[in-house]
Amino acid sequence: MAADLSANENPWGASPEAAGAIAASAVTVHRYPDSKGAALKAALAERLGVEPGNVVLGNGSSELFETIGRAVLGDGGAALVGWPSFPAYQEAMRRAGATSVRVPLAGHRYDLGAMAKLAGARNRLLIVANPNNPTGLTFGQAELDRLLDRLPEETLLCLDEAYGEYASCADFPDAIASVLAGRPLVVVRTLSKAYGLAGLRIGYAIAAEPLARRIDAQRQRFNTSGIAQAAAIAAIGDREHLARTLALNAEGRDWLTARLSETGLFFLPSEANFLLVKVGDGAEACRRLKERGVLVKQLDAFGLPEYFRVSVGRPEENALFIESLQALL
């Protein structure tokens, strides 16, 4: 495949420092990893200005949604999820023995007011992505504060910031500061996207220490490998590589935005590393693009059959996508 733009991966790869850490740690694969991930927790805590006790490690962020569900909804409650959004939230709640309640987006944006009204004794967990996948849209600090102010005492907001590093809007929330201020909030992030470690499955959550202990108690003991922990420590320490990745993504996203504007197709402005594009028959468009060597994400599973999602790739991949799309049109 000439251009795989379907999975929102980092086309520039992981930090060279992370690659070096992977090679160096390969000689220890006969040993069990640190089950608590102490060194990685310490590195994340220092980078984020929290305590190691605020950090929970996950086998990617997907595992964390499940462990959070078990910790908060262990007796069979329900999670409120915006729709369309990442389908894995609902899958994680099912595995946790809970259910999900879909709250439709309003104008492609989260209806945070509707979610607050539905929160309560049974709907004790809200899962919200910022930026949202697949729309790429964000909400700001004031909207986050209003949502937290309206939540009943027994509810918790799980804020998925998988694509947060890409967001450049001035009012993007400081969610970790809200956690430290005692708000009912857990922040989930991943090193699969901007940090380019999708194949190693490393995610983390930031929560108040009592909640972090409850979440941590739900995970498997060796849920993150030693190689993944070593690579993650190196990756978060290489700020230059991250800055380069974000700059290249912004450049590629702006180029794709300009080219898509010329096609006349409807698409959403994005703060992430992908764009949501309306084409009428998403499945057919995906099929025909694949014939030309370009993979984009079909969105039937998101309830968006008229759309596809395209990741920002390298310049030559972006160019091939636009050339192939124009041929289809």
The DSSP line for 162-219 is TTGGG---TT---HHHHHHTT-SEEEEEESSSTT--GGG--EEEE--HHHHHHHHTTS
- What is the domain partition of the chain in residue ranges? 3-11+240-328, 16-237
Average pLDDT score over residue span 150-165 = 97
Q: For residue 103, what are the contacts with CB-CB under 8 A and spacing of at least 6?
A: 80, 81, 82, 83, 110, 111, 114, 115, 118
Q: What CATH architecture applies to the domain 3-11+240-328?
A: Alpha-Beta Complex (3.90)
Q: Measured between alpha carbons, how far is 274 from 269 in angstroms, rounded to an integer?
A: 9
Q: So what's the pLDDT on residue 1? A: 65
At position 130, the amino acid (one-letter code) is N
* pLDDT of 70 over the 80 cut: yes
Note the pLDDT tens digit of each residue in 115-136.
999 999 899 999 999 999 999 9
pLDDT at 100: 96
Mean of all residue pLDDT scores within the chain: 97
Q: Where are the beta strands (DSSP E) in the chain?
A: 3-4, 55-58, 78-83, 99-104, 123-129, 156-160, 185-190, 203-206, 274-278, 294-295, 297-298, 307-311
Q: Considering only residues 75 and 228, tell me which one the structure prediction assigns the higher pLDDT.
A: 228
215 burial level (CB within 10 Å; 0-12, 13-18, 19+): buried
Query: The CATH number of 16-237 is which of 3.40.50.1370, 3.40.640.10, 1.10.10.10, 3.30.1130.10?
Result: 3.40.640.10
Whether 290 has a pLDDT exceeding 90, the answer reads: yes
Query: Over 70: is that where the pLDDT of 325 sits?
Result: yes
